[in-house]
Structure 1
Amino acid sequence: MRTVTETMGSTATPEREPEKKRQRERRPGLFARLRLFLRQIVAELRKVVWPTRNQLVTYTTVVIVFVLIVLAIVSVLDWVFSRGVFAIFG
């Protein structure tokens, strides 16, 4: 079976980029990248639609009530299972 280089007749080697072109394409330094990252964070935070005080109170209340409901369910299940274990293993 022939390889691609045998059928084409020559071995093509990719040309290397000139040294100056590679130097121009260097990425910015650490502090420049950090500054860019922080600027992008601020830009994204400006796009955020912040909740009003009423919405914040409502969301907080809903979360606290939900946590209390889950706490009650887990507590009841814990009590039931502990009674069951004590009844079986005494």
Structure 2
Amino acid sequence: MSEAQVSETTAGSSKGRPAKKAAKAGLFARIALFVRQIIGELKKVVTPTRKELVRYTLVVLVFVAIMMVIVSILDIGFGTAVSWVFGGVGPSDR
């Protein structure tokens, strides 16, 4: 192994990626590689069971409901505070 090969390999592995190739692949070769990588990633996807899907849906709905309550309380509180500070129309002014 020559010194250039060692340093190129070492430099490529120290950054967590392979060393650069001398020539770039053509446009269609890069597109084909991209499609192969997509297919490879899609094969890793695990579809949830019906029970898991129902559980995840309920968790999301409960979380959204809780967040709606929190935001509503904050909205009413800030609205009341701004109305009180700036003298807006309040219950006693009607």
Normalised by the length of structure 1, the TM-score is 0.65
Deviation at 1:88, TM superposition (A): 1.9
Map residues 1-90 of structure 1 onto 2, 5 A cutoff. Answer: 25-90=22-87
What's the Cα RMSD here?
1.3
Matched letter for residue 75 of structure 1? S
* Distance in 2 (alpha carbons) for counterparts of 1:27 and 1:88: 66
Question: Which structure has the bigger radius of gyration?
Answer: 1
3-state SS, counterpart of residue 47 of structure 2? coil
Which runs of structure 1 show a deviation greater than 4 angstroms over 4 or more consecutive aligned residues?
none
Please report how far the alpha carbon of residue 26 of structure 1 lies from its aligned counterpart in structure 2 after TM superposition: 2.3
Deviation of 1:65 after TM superposition, in Å, equals: 1.2
1:28, distance to aligned residue in structure 2 (A): 1.9
Taking only the aligned residue pairs, the percentage that are identical comes to: 56
Match of 2:12 in 1: none
Distance in 2 separating the partners of 1:53 and 1:32: 40
Q: Which amino acid aligns with 2:34?
A: F
Deviation per residue, 1:66-85 (Å, 9 max, x gap): 01111110111110111111
Per-residue CA deviations over 1:46-73 (Å, capped at 9, x if unaligned) read 1222211221121111112101111110
Number of residue pairs the alignment of both structures matches: 66
